[in-house]
Chains A and B, each alone.
Chain A
Amino acid sequence: MSLRPTRSSYYEELRQRGYSRRDFMKFCATVAAYLGLEASGVGQVAHALETKPRIPVIWLHFQECTCCSESFIRSSHPIVADILLDKLSLDYTETLMAASGHQAEKCMRDTMEKYKGEYVLCIEGSVPTEADGVYCMIGGRTSLDILKEAASGAKAVIAWGSCASNGCVQSAKPNPTGATPIHKLLRGTTVIKVPGCPPIGEVMAGVLVHIITFGTIPELDGIGRPKAFYSKRVHDTCYRRPFYDAGLFVERFDDENAKKGYCLYKVGCKGPLTYNACGVTKWNNGTSFPIQSGHGCFGCSEEGYWDAGGLYLRAQPFPGFGIESDADKIGTAAAIATGVGIAAHAVMTNLRKSRLIGNLISEGKEAEKEL
């Protein structure tokens, strides 16, 4: 994928590819809906894609499994993959580019120089920091080195997936490679976090289209996630929510309640703790999402979900107290110990303070007689 001398608009490229005007407008409407825009927003998206030149994208892969890319190219609308992968001018991405070796490296360098301050930097994967970053090197350079250089000229930095956003499985204890999420390495740069393992393809497309349409990064929450997709918990949009409110829960995966489709809260569903759009957007062309298939949410888009305890446990084990130790078990043991301590103290009081107590009692008895 080489640099094109003149950059045509997305719409032009799509028409060349054989998409009809109708297909294009359907795509605009879909994306505008994902972004939560009002009806007039469809026009804005369409106008932007018709007029604005393609935004150059550098898509870097560090410590990751490419599930983010996989998710992205499977987003529900075919134009998403076409427009944003084939035509998005992915000037550099290890997985999908045609070039290799020195040619590829040159591609990246050319984009960084030619489109300085214009290109969008997408990062898939975390960056290892232990042992001088030798755990992930590309073209003889550490990923940290590449990241810093690429980020310095980027218009926007997107951290795709949980690896880039919060470290995901690489950064799980004991984290031998020192895997570090992007925002911790680019202090002072706004990093758009799109967590999830993987993130939903439509969400990824939505973030990119927002940047294309408005020329700005989408509105972010306190930790840098786009509010349009990460402001609601999976729990708040879950179709099983009425069972939760009714107090009807699956007790075991194979029980009667599971067959009735009750809430998966007690078998460890992390929906109430997880901020993502799965309940609304769903996966695989809106076919389903984990909870719909009878499996609790893992909380894959939440920070540290690998270390937070059992994926199927409602009450999490407590760090330092062993794997069976949820808060209630520790608390009960402590309450019993307290009870024993109190009983011992009460016995000791009667022994050690017998004279004091005896005096009080006899004094009271004397007084009683006088009345």
Chain B
Amino acid sequence: MSTHKLRRVFVWELPVRIYHWVNALAIVVLCITGYLIGKPPAIMFGGEAHERYLFGWIRFIHFVAAYIFLFNFVFRIYWGFAGNKYAGWKNFIPTNRKYFREMWEVIKIDILQLKGKEHLSVGHNALAGFTYFMMFLMFLVQIITGFGLYAAMSHSWIAGLFAWAPYLFGGDFALRQIHHITMWLFILFAIIHVYLVFYHDYVEGRGEVSSMSGGWKFIEEEVFEETEKKSAQSS
């Protein structure tokens, strides 16, 4: 029976954590309001239309959340260059062989659950990082299609930046369709994401779940020793 000594590592900086939760909240709000815009509930109402503004409010909340989502994403791109090594853009975009090797490791050990040496990474593992990169592209799709649909009814120059989108995709029909199906990719992502956070916490015992609130993960002393050994060898 081995015992592990754990060291506290500051993985997620405050801006990353704020980004994460603003993003999570925005996506939840956008998905709920977006679903309602796509499939409004049937309401029986005896009064006059001017007494209510329900659908108007749903759309308003959707648009406000969309702006928050957009600027939050812009900030995260900036932080991919300004942040620490766990926040940097190289976590998301594969630049070397090692990245792909690690992705394969994660698929073998964590997804297919083949027997082998457990794979542990401190920040994002390669597969997670690459998945987030794919999600960032989905963010972009959603921003372009969403603001593209919104541009026609907005005087904002920000929405105006996306006014070309309907022409690129062949009209609002296609934009709406892409926007709607991509929402479901976000929902699927959220389900898997939450599950995997619990999974990693459960099999690694490093405080994965709480890391996105305090920013810390608890890493075994052996990992530090190995890292030292490796850097000694290479130098």
CB pair A359–B53 under 8 Å, yes or no, is no
What 0/1 pattern do residues 49 to 67 of B give for CB contact below 8 A with A? 1111111101000000000
Q: Which residues of B lie under 8 Å from residue A339 when comparing CB positions?
A: 191
What 0/1 pattern do residues 232 to 250 of A give for CB contact below 8 A with B? 1100100000111111110
Stretch at the interface among B16-24, B95-103, B175-183: B175-183
Q: Which residues of B lie under 8 Å from residue A363 when comparing CB positions?
A: 1-4
Stretch at the interface among A38-46, A83-91, A325-333: A325-333
Q: Which residues of B lie under 8 Å from residue A275 when comparing CB positions?
A: 152
With contact pairs A246-B56, A331-B183, A349-B199 given, residues A302 and B205 touching in the complex (Cβ less than 8 Å)? no
Chain A proximity of B142: nearest CB distance (Å): 13
With contact pairs A245-B53, A246-B55 given, residues A367 and B3 touching in the complex (Cβ less than 8 Å)? yes
Instruction: Assign chain A's interface to a size class.
Output: 35 or more
CB pair A352–B113 under 8 Å, yes or no, is yes
CB pair B38–A315 under 8 Å, yes or no, is yes
Where chain B touches its partner, the secondary structure class is helix
A-B contact count (CB 8 A): 144
Q: Which residues of A lie under 8 Å from residue B157 when comparing CB positions?
A: none
CB pair B181–A233 under 8 Å, yes or no, is no
- Least CB separation from A352: chain B residue: B113
What 0/1 pattern do residues 118 to 140 of B give for CB contact below 8 A with A? 10000000000000000000000
- Least CB separation from A299: chain B residue: B173
CA distance A232 to B154 in the complex (A): 11
Q: Which residues of A lie under 8 Å from residue B74 when comparing CB positions?
A: none
CA distance A305 to B170 in the complex (A): 10
CB pair A273–B1 under 8 Å, yes or no, is no
Interface pairs (19), CB distance under 8 Å? A233-B172, A242-B49, A243-B49, A246-B55, A246-B56, A248-B52, A272-B172, A273-B172, A303-B170, A308-B173, A315-B180, A318-B181, A331-B181, A342-B191, A345-B199, A353-B113, A359-B1, A363-B2, A363-B4
**Chain B residues within CB distance 8 Å of chain A:** 1-4, 35, 38-43, 45, 49-56, 58, 111, 113, 115, 118, 152-153, 163-164, 166-167, 170-174, 176-177, 180-181, 183-184, 187-188, 191-192, 195, 199, 202-203, 205
